[in-house]
Amino acid sequence: MLGCGPAGAAAAITLAARGISVVAIDPRPSGEWEPGEGLPAAANAALRKLGVWPSFQAGGHLPASGFLSCWGSAEPAFRPALLDPRGPSWQLDRAAFNQMLRDAVGSVLPYRVTEVKRDGPQWTIAAADKPPISVNFIIDATGRSGRLRRSPRRVDSRLVGIAALLPDPFPGEAASIVEAVPEGWWYASRVPHDRLVVAFFTDASIAPTVNWTDLLGKTGFVGQRAGWPSAEKLRTVAAGSSTLESIAGPGWLAVGDAARAHDPLSSRGLHDALTSGIAAAEAISENTVTAYAEQVAADYRAYLKDLDWYYRQETRFPDSPFWALRQM
Ligand SMILES: Cc1cc2nc3c(=O)[nH]c(=O)nc-3n(C[C@H](O)[C@H](O)[C@H](O)COP(=O)(O)OP(=O)(O)OC[C@H]3O[C@@H](n4cnc5c(N)ncnc54)[C@H](O)[C@@H]3O)c2cc1C
């Protein structure tokens, strides 16, 4: 298992439960904060399947009361969590969530894999200053950067997120907010320990010209929710849609963001990381890897259509380069 984020962990847990021996490798300490904290209720079933539901429930994650969306209109629309029969979505302590999944995997080698080579039916995995490891199948779960990929990657949008983790001035406010602005869109969500994630999403070509604090000051809702902070520690990360041209090949397959990465507007990155990890492990043990790869590719095509439709619902900024790029 190359990488042990949510997708790699889900695949490793499922393979081990089926009696398949797994070596999980990931150099990143799982206690680090990273953006990606909204987990839809649809993911509850995957967490149950992985056997981590009791630890998830004890993990202090918060239920969202709903979504306030300012998209396509200056008038906000509120969608209460009550309307979803599966229950509320979750506002995660993301570091604790990653740690919970790692704990369920058991041992993870803290190596950065530098190369994978196929020698006949075997793979040799190389990591700096470590002895090589031989395996008969590799799962690429290295996320969207995917430097070990076995297939070219197609980039469908160059969205970037500029995110901050801040003290929450109103920790009792349980709704998450999405707000479209001429330069892109904002997102704010409380997370455990009285913190608030505030992220601005824009195009990579626009990001260098962005003054995060000034733009936040011009929002109708997100700035007020965040208490008009000036962010000191901002994290800029790739957040657009992209996919491998082939999701699987002889002796390998890809899961989670390594296979295809979603725009965070869709709130499906973590859900699909968990479900694709489980599905990939089942496909390996049942010898149905081709069907797995076809399903992932078909889901991604359907997602792109839905995303295109959603971006076209925002018609207030016809002269803005950000929206023009997404409404061609
Ligand atoms: C700004 C932003 C906001 C987001 N918000 C949300 C959200 O609200 N809800 C949601 O569902 N999703 C969200 N996402 C997406 C979500 O975070 C990802 O979809 C999810 O983390 C994918 O999980 P993964 O396991 O596939 O990849 P990752 O979480 O990226 O894990 C990949 C792992 O591979 C390891 N790795 C990389 N290279 C190597 C190597 N060479 N050797 C060994 N290991 C390696 C890394 O250390 C890492 O631990 C957001 C994404 C961004 C960028």
| Sign of the alpha-carbon dihedral angle for 279, 280, 281, 287 | positive
Closest CA to 7 of 270, 327, 316, 302: 270
pLDDT-derived band at 328, boundaries 50, 70, 90: confident
Q: What is the pTM of this model?
A: 0.97
Mean pLDDT of 301-316: 97
Ligand 1 contact, 301 CB (< 6 A): no
| Residue 193, pLDDT score | 97
pLDDT-derived band at 142, boundaries 50, 70, 90: very high
218 Cα: distance to centroid of ligand 1 (angstroms): 30
| Residue 232, pLDDT score | 79
Residue 245: count of CB within 10 angstroms of its CB? 10
Ligand 1 contact, 236 CB (< 6 A): no
Say yes or no to pLDDT of 148 above 90: no
Q: What is the DSSP letter of 237?
A: E
Helix intervals (H) in the chain: 6-17, 44-49, 53-57, 94-105, 212-217, 222-226, 256-259, 269-286, 289-312, 321-326
| Residue 147, pLDDT score | 77
Say yes or no to pLDDT of 145 above 90: no
Mean pLDDT of 225-243: 93
pLDDT digits (tens, 9 = 90+) for 254-301: 999 999 999 999 999 999 999 999 999 999 999 999 999 999 999 999
298 Cα: distance to centroid of ligand 1 (angstroms): 21
What's the fold here for domain 6-61+94-156+241-309?
Answer: FAD/NAD(P)-binding domain (3.50.50)
pLDDT-derived band at 67, boundaries 50, 70, 90: very high
Q: Report how far residue 94's alpha carbon sits from residue 32's, in angstroms, rounded to the nearest whole number.
A: 8
Ligand 1 contact, 69 CB (< 6 A): no
pLDDT-derived band at 30, boundaries 50, 70, 90: confident
Ligand 1 contact, 38 CB (< 6 A): yes
Ligand 1 contact, 223 CB (< 6 A): no
pLDDT digits (tens, 9 = 90+) for 2-22: 999 999 999 999 999 999 999
Ligand 1 contact, 3 CB (< 6 A): yes
